[in-house]
Structure 1
Amino acid sequence: MDKCSDFLPWLGLDASMQILMNFDDPADLVRASAVSRAWREFVIANGFCKNLCLRMFPEISKVAHVIEVNNMIEPLDIGSHSSLEWGSLKRDHRVYAHLAHSFTSFRRKDCILKAISASSTDNYPEESIDNTLQPSDRIEQRPSYWSSKGQSNPAMPETLTYRLASRLCVISEISIQPFQAFFQFGYPIYSAKAVRFRMGYLKEPLEAGSDHVDKYSTDHGYIEDNFISTYVSPEYPMAQENSLQKYELPEPVLCIGGILQVDLLGRVQRQQMDGLFYICVSHVKVVGRPLLPTFDVEFLDRREKFGKWILKYNPQAGCCMPLARSSEDETSVPSHFRVFRLRQRGARGWEQQMIINTLLGNVAVVGDYDSDEEVVV
């Protein structure tokens, strides 16, 4: 060991930064920061974890500052004391390391929380947008679907608006099932010609305690007038089939604000009874990873498109939440892994614990970053 030396000084600042900038796994950056005090300071001071998040999702550039709920270090003014500045850098390292790890997690679930409104509804509440949250097109032998109002123009679009499970979600795919009217002659399928997805937030959030506006009235215009999209997908053709049709996005999308709009473009099926064109949907499913309650956002100016926002991090909220789906439950993991005591020593304790958590599949970091507490993982 006496003959060992640190290669970072040999390479120099520029070459060392180029090497670490090519790391695409947050666990590798955390391991690098645990090598030595010099490496730790180098990784934290240069914000490699934040840069990794920016490469994954450029929208992160709109973060004005981050707040750690259990470590309320306020944004620093120019000329602040160096110790406070270093504390802020360590906080950012912690937050962005966990955020990047959340981005790379394979834990996926249905991300729709509530239906907000539809651009039109034929018969409310029997054909409400709420029915699209049910996976089946029949409930107790009764049809379950949303239906638009009839239109003589087949080019008229419709829009369904949903609230996602978190104001910060990583969305990878969306599925839609058109409704087949098994109670009508010929069993027609009322699909759209194409579909498009928009994600974003409302300039004026809905009133507290209000889950939706009047779904069958013209109040949907309120949603349209106040919606700001931060992402618009390509248009995808929809098949006139009674099946759950999956649309994979070109790449995972970071939805900031937690609002999804499904644009149904064009009409295919005319109803024999009145000669009008309708769109009917039995089910909508959104697959991704909600980052709440560990991460949340607060907009500084909702009326500004692509405006700045605050990233909030609450490590205790995500305690013991798995990072990925696993075929093994906790009892199947050997006891010497399930109960592992890590003695945090000095400034490297958090990085070491992050590595342990990464390997064991736990998202939370328990204990203070610079403490000497004994931690049970």
Structure 2
Amino acid sequence: MSRAAVFVFDFVPSPSLSTDGMIPLSSFRFARRSSHVLLRLRYYSLSSPGNAIDLVSSGGLAMVNCWDFLKWLGTDASTSVITLLDDPADLVRLSAVSWSLRRFVIENKFCKSLCSRFCPDTLNFPLVAEVSNTSKIAEVGSSSALEWESLEREHSAYALLCHLIVSPEGKRDCIHRAVCASSTDNYPDESIENTLEPSDLIDRRPSYWSSGGQYDPGVLESLTYRLTANLCVVREIKIRPFKAFFQRGHPIYSAKFVRFRMDHSRLRQGTDDYEEPQLTSDDYYKWTYVSPEFPMEQENVLQSFKLPHPVICVGGMLQIELMGRVQKQAVDGLYYICVCHVQAMGSPLSPFFKVEIHDASGSLILKYFRQSKCGTVPVGTAEAKITETSPGIREANERL
């Protein structure tokens, strides 16, 4: 094989049979679970760009002149080609082309690798468990005699998880309620609950949160929120600073920089403090993700702060740190930070996934509800309030 070559790897619609009832060599159809998938690996030699060879995988079907491109390319080259795929749906389609390709994709854990490329936080799950309708938990990745079945379950779990992470479907504001603010100037008129309202005017009155006043502009403030589910993918945070239109000059009380922290409360679920915490100390929270600092503009607009990569928030706690004050209040000469509205854009991973945190070790177990339908989630959690899932996610789960 010449080194001067280009491979084009794609999926095309299944062909119809030719007039003699035979499937053309250049296009091959493999039926599995009533879905027809065609894989085409096209080889172009740069020395003869007009001539192309279509390489197809025949799998378990006996067909004359059909090549298994895994054997033709070899393991290393096949791995290099498959790792170029950047859509989990393509990996699912690829694993449906033939049994040889399915085994190759699953044994090499391409779905898990792709998932970690998009979201490195998935590497924090040392164990994935599938929960069936009979409440039987099957551990994924175990060294039992059913290792292949375990690998298949892991493949399905990470394929769906990766789809939920990268898909724009279902993207929404994931903030469920406000928890606490590091300080408040005039409670309850200027409380953190006001930041959940999209408008800066409610009943003709200004709606915003205000920090306490400080002589030192470097004093940090924080806003803490609980998300709609204990397991959410967060992609960006949106914040709108407050413009005091009732003060002379209409000053905007923004911060210089913002930073975001995510994870879970150390308080035991089910306690009063867990349900209605008013605690700001880090002793009560475990922050495993801390974002870079983002500059904030002194403008009264909804500013978007996109995270470097999608972040899986385990435990459903989000804290916004507001650093540096830029605006003094004329009447008292103190620095304030004021915020109108906050959004955490992303998507909940329920009802398909749930995380279990071991209090003693702090280790995480990702539970995968393969047969879950919308609303089939553990009762008594914020996740139970989520009853809508996009059709694309439902269809992906059914395919898997």
The answer, yes or no, to whether TM exceeds 0.5 is yes
The letter of the residue matching 2:291 is S
Per the alignment, do residues 24 and 255 of structure 1 end up closer, same or farther by CA in structure 2, a change over 3 Å counting?
same
The letter of the residue matching 2:313 is C
C-alpha offsets along residues 50-87 of structure 1, whole Å, 9 cap, x if unaligned? 12112222222221221222263433797622xx2222
Indicate conservation of the 8 Å contact 2:140/2:151, yes or no: no
Per the alignment, do residues 166 and 36 of structure 1 end up closer, same or farther by CA in structure 2, a change over 3 Å counting?
same
How do 1:343-354 and structure 2 match up within 5 A? none
Alpha carbon RMSD of aligned pairs, Å?
A: 2.5
Are residue 112 (structure 1) and residue 175 (structure 2) matched? yes
Residue 271 of structure 1: aligned partner: 329
Q: How far off its partner does 1:27 sit?
A: 1.4
CA distance in 2, matches of 1:122, 1:178: 16
CA distance in 2, matches of 1:315, 1:79: 21
Residue 310 of structure 1: aligned partner: 365
Residue 10 of structure 2: aligned partner: none
Residue 200 of structure 1: aligned partner: 263
Q: Percent same amino acid at aligned positions?
A: 52
Indicate conservation of the 8 Å contact 1:204/1:302, yes or no: no
Indicate conservation of the 8 Å contact 2:118/2:166, yes or no: no
Are residue 322 (structure 1) and residue 385 (structure 2) matched? no
Match of 1:149 among 202, 205, 212: 212
The letter of the residue matching 2:370 is P
Residue 304 of structure 2: aligned partner: 246
Indicate conservation of the 8 Å contact 2:258/2:295, yes or no: yes
Indicate conservation of the 8 Å contact 1:115/1:212, yes or no: no
The letter of the residue matching 2:88 is P
Higher mean C-alpha displacement, 91-100 vs 168-177: 168-177
CA distance in 1, matches of 2:197, 2:292: 26
The letter of the residue matching 1:263 is E
The structure whose residues are more often strand, as a share, is: 2
CA distance in 2, matches of 1:37, 1:321: 32
Higher mean C-alpha displacement, 262-271 vs 232-241: 232-241
Residue 397 of structure 2: aligned partner: 364
Residue 337 of structure 1: aligned partner: none
The letter of the residue matching 2:293 is E
The letter of the residue matching 1:321 is T
Indicate conservation of the 8 Å contact 1:175/1:247, yes or no: yes
CA distance in 1, matches of 2:74, 2:271: 54
CA distance in 2, matches of 1:239, 1:26: 37
Residue 235 of structure 2: aligned partner: 172
Q: Which runs of 5+ in 1 are unaligned?
A: 325-356, 370-377
The letter of the residue matching 1:363 is A
Residue 138 of structure 1: aligned partner: 201
Per the alignment, do residues 15 and 186 of structure 1 end up closer, same or farther by CA in structure 2, a change over 3 Å counting?
closer
How do 1:174-253 and structure 2 match up within 5 A? 174-205=237-268, 207-208=270-271, 210-214=274-278, 219-221=279-281, 224-253=282-311
Q: Which runs of 5+ in 2 are unaligned?
A: 1-62, 375-387
Q: How far off its partner does 1:17 sit?
A: 2.7
State TM-score, norm by structure 1: 0.77
CA distance in 1, matches of 2:222, 2:268: 19
CA distance in 1, matches of 2:258, 2:107: 45
Are residue 49 (structure 1) and residue 111 (structure 2) matched? yes
Residue 139 of structure 2: aligned partner: 75
CA distance in 2, matches of 1:113, 1:92: 30
Per the alignment, do residues 207 and 188 of structure 1 end up closer, same or farther by CA in structure 2, a change over 3 Å counting?
farther
State TM-score, norm by structure 2: 0.73
CA distance in 1, matches of 2:327, 2:209: 15
Per the alignment, do residues 250 and 257 of structure 1 end up closer, same or farther by CA in structure 2, a change over 3 Å counting?
same
C-alpha offsets along residues 302-341 of structure 1, whole Å, 9 cap, x if unaligned? 775xxx31111223445593266xxxxxxxxxxxxxxxxx
Indicate conservation of the 8 Å contact 1:106/1:323, yes or no: no
Q: How far off its partner does 1:110 sit?
A: 0.8
Q: Using CA pairs below 8 Å that are at least 6 residues apart, which structure has the higher relative contact order?
A: 1
